[in-house]
Structure 1
Amino acid sequence: MSVTSSRTRGGSRNRAEHLGPDRRRPQILDAALQIANEDGISSVTIASIASSLDVTRPVVYACFSSRSEILAALIDREERYLGEALPGILRARAVDATEAVFIEGFQALLAAVAARPQAWRLLYGNPDAEVTELFGRGRAIVVERCRQLLAPTLDAWGTDDAERKLSALVEFWVSSGEGAVRTLLGSDSDHSMTPHDLGAFIGAAVYRGMRSA
């Protein structure tokens, strides 16, 4: 992360470069995300963010009034990134939902995770109660989109008692995706699967589970 303050010859902090709140806020959120991933949400404080950016605390306070406001803004931003990725993950090919469609969807999901792991780790891999409390809208969007896609698919498959099973199957689908995300984020061994291979494995398993329901 780049240093944004000017310094005296003796090395002490002089004053932060004046960027204005609109330019400074993204830097503050980026710093908060990095701290959360490296040291946990509890380590995200006004002081730690200021230290990470090499600025004074008033510079941070000029953009956000509190730590809670920073966390809320960070979760909101990362949820928006998730929302932008959804069209490529949940394709509108519901009635023609073959095994290949499910595989492609899970591969797209895990490719998005691999491209922005810190954000996904914050939302899906963080057990901190503060994150759990703030996060929820993004998952609700995913659940509703899956429900919209799956309802006509079950009808096309001729699933018995489809309407009664719909909620359980949607939760199965979404939870499988969350599990795949956590598996990818937690993979650090030589035997871990690539996003492509893990997506193919989970996508096929979910498809077969739903078809047999």
Structure 2
Amino acid sequence: MGTESAVRPRQRARHLGPERRRPQVLDTALQIAADDGIAAVTIAAIADRMKVTRPVVYACFADRVELIEALLRREEDLMLAGVLDALPRRRVEADEAVFVEGFRALLHTTSARPDGWRLLYGNPDPAVASSFGRARELAVERCTRRLRPTLRAWGTVDAERKLAALVELWVSAGEGAVRTMLTDPGDWTPDTLGEFVGAAVYRALRNA
């Protein structure tokens, strides 16, 4: 009886279906990429770390290329969701609290999934760089859409001429805050850093 009980958990794990294993495989791939770089993500490395055979991983993804594409797509989608959630909800008359709330949300997203952000953010690997480039382009497009009516509502002089430069300032400030959170947080928390950067960006845009 005791022997059967000891064996059953291993049997269940061994026969776990591909649909349920895929997230585990991707999580393991992300850990390897965070530790050793995307080049270290191989079927063999994943199988070894998960303590399963290679066919178990191949049942989830046909090959390494498909696996890495799925990993990048998942992390890009999560990063984009975090960026879009951080944008101010109100399109006009945004005040300082709106920008602070947005930057805090962005940094909480960063802190919740640091390995995913490290994988995509500023990664020099060509396989990864294009994903971050697409995410940044979307962030610029959405920020432009949000900021245009706000500048008009504020009565910003030459608002349309200044718009692109101010959006770049806003997006770059977000990248800088994320970089600080990932590489050198010091005494900052997502809330305190979000408050500081959000207030600074608001004042810069408001007084432009």
Tell me, yes or no, whether TM beats 0.5.
yes
4+ residue runs over 6 A deviation: none
In structure 1, give the amino acid aligned to 2:88: R
In structure 1, give the amino acid aligned to 2:187: S
Distance across 2 between alignment mates of 1:63 and 1:169: 45
**Equivalent residue, structure 2, for 1:184:** 181
In structure 2, give the amino acid aligned to 1:145: R
**Equivalent residue, structure 1, for 2:124:** 127
**Equivalent residue, structure 1, for 2:151:** 154
SS in 2 for 1:133: helix
Deviation at 1:87, TM superposition (A): 5.1
Deviation at 1:121, TM superposition (A): 1.7
Instruction: Name the structure with the higher helix share.
Output: 2
**Equivalent residue, structure 2, for 1:74:** 71
* Paired residues, number: 201
SS in 1 for 2:101: helix
Asked whether the 8 Å contact 1:176–1:202 carries over to 2, the reply is yes
In structure 2, give the amino acid aligned to 1:19: L
**Equivalent residue, structure 1, for 2:104:** 107
The verdict on how the C-alpha distance between 1:134 and 1:95 changes in structure 2, with shifts beyond 3 A counting, is closer
**Equivalent residue, structure 2, for 1:171:** 168
Deviation at 1:56, TM superposition (A): 1.8
Distance across 2 between alignment mates of 1:129 and 1:159: 40
Distance across 1 between alignment mates of 2:84 and 2:166: 20
In structure 1, give the amino acid aligned to 2:197: I
SS in 2 for 1:136: helix
Distance across 2 between alignment mates of 1:119 and 1:73: 13
Deviation at 1:105, TM superposition (A): 0.8
1:1-213 equivalences in 2 (<5 Å)? 17-86=14-83, 88-187=85-184, 191-213=186-208
The verdict on how the C-alpha distance between 1:126 and 1:71 changes in structure 2, with shifts beyond 3 A counting, is same
Deviation at 1:22, TM superposition (A): 1.0
Deviation at 1:86, TM superposition (A): 4.3
Distance across 2 between alignment mates of 1:100 and 1:38: 37
In structure 1, give the amino acid aligned to 2:126: A
Percent identical residues: 60
Distance across 2 between alignment mates of 1:145 and 1:116: 22
Instruction: Give the aligned CA root-mean-square deviation in angstroms.
Output: 2.4
Which 5+ residue runs of structure 1 have no aligned equivalent?
1-5, 8-13
In structure 2, give the amino acid aligned to 1:207: Y
SS in 1 for 2:157: coil
Distance across 2 between alignment mates of 1:129 and 1:172: 26
Distance across 1 between alignment mates of 2:131 and 2:153: 37
In structure 2, give the amino acid aligned to 1:65: A
